[in-house]
Chain A
Amino acid sequence: MIASRKHGFIFIKTMKTAGTSIELALSTVCGPDDILTPIGVEHDRLRADAGIEPRNFSDTLEARYLKALRKRNNKLMRPVLRELEASGLWAHALPDAIKARVGRKFWKSAVKVASERHPYEKALSRAYHSYRKTTPFAEHLDRVVFEERFYIGHRYYIQGGKVIAGFFVRHNLLNEDFARLCNRLALPSLKLP
């Protein structure tokens, strides 16, 4: 999740929709007061190598995470990431958690951006990436579909029957939509990694 006061947008990160690519690209134009939640051990290390650190995401966990990140200590980073997920304000934060952090006024005025993809493709993508060959693939796919349900997207951008996102980056039109987003937010034309 990114909340950029500098550019007036909030990026709500759904799952399995190229959200990390979008987040990495948008991170490069954020200011010191913007909120950048951690992405995960590997991506945060990559982002830190480029001089970009997560920031302003937690009053209690941030110092610990940054200390661990600066030491490139994965073992210390992981428990903080788990605590952050439990707190609700993590990479895939839902609207209410974001609203609580950024405040009602900015929440209302910001362009809320989300990426989305056909749920069948999201389910398959998740199943392929998480498959460890310890069970038959069909069984694993059943677990992804019927139990994990990471493909559900609407809770990130529909509240009380109303669509709260003002801009969608569609996975099947990723580059085109991202270019339109940069244009809409008056950002330089950014490249998706």
Chain B
Amino acid sequence: TPARDVLSPSQRDFIYEQCAPEFELFGWER
């Protein structure tokens, strides 16, 4: 199961907020 599908939307949003610089640097999907 992809990690994205195990995490809840609120968990994903929180992780994105904490990791915004690396999401941008690596071009990862939210």
Pick from A116, A120, A151: contact of B26, CB under 8 Å: A116
CB distance from B1 to the nearest CB of A (A): 9
- A85 at the binding interface (Cβ < 8 Å): no
Q: How far apart are the CA atoms of A120 and B11 in the complex, in Å?
A: 9
**1/0 contact trace for B1-30 toward A, CB 8 Å?**
001101100011011101101110110100
CB distance from B13 to the nearest CB of A (A): 10
**1/0 contact trace for A85-122 toward B, CB 8 Å?**
00000000000000000000000000000001011110
A120 and B14 contacting across the interface, CB-CB below 8 Å = no
Pick from A120, A123, A152, A154: contact of B25, CB under 8 Å: A154
Q: From DSSP, what is the main secondary structure of chain B's interface residues?
A: helix
A158 and B25 contacting across the interface, CB-CB below 8 Å = yes
Interface centre among A123, A158, A168 (most CB of B within 10 A): A123
> In the complex where A120-B3, A120-B4 touch, is A146 in contact with B22 (Cβ < 8 A)?
no
B22 and A124 contacting across the interface, CB-CB below 8 Å = no
A149 and B18 contacting across the interface, CB-CB below 8 Å = yes
In the assembled complex, which residues on chain B have CB atoms less than 8 Å from the CB atom of A152?
A: 18-19
| Those 4 A-B pairs whose CB atoms lie nearest each other, nearest first | A120-B3, A154-B21, A124-B3, A119-B19
- Given A120-B4, A124-B3, 7 other A-B residues pairs in contact with their CB atoms under 8 A: A120-B3, A120-B15, A123-B11, A149-B18, A151-B15, A152-B18, A163-B25
Jot down 30 A-B pairs with beta carbons below 8 A, ordered by A.
Answer: A118-B26, A119-B16, A119-B18, A119-B23, A119-B28, A120-B3, A120-B4, A120-B12, A123-B3, A123-B11, A123-B15, A124-B6, A124-B7, A141-B6, A141-B11, A142-B11, A145-B14, A146-B11, A146-B14, A149-B18, A151-B18, A151-B19, A153-B19, A154-B19, A154-B21, A154-B25, A158-B21, A158-B22, A168-B26, A170-B26
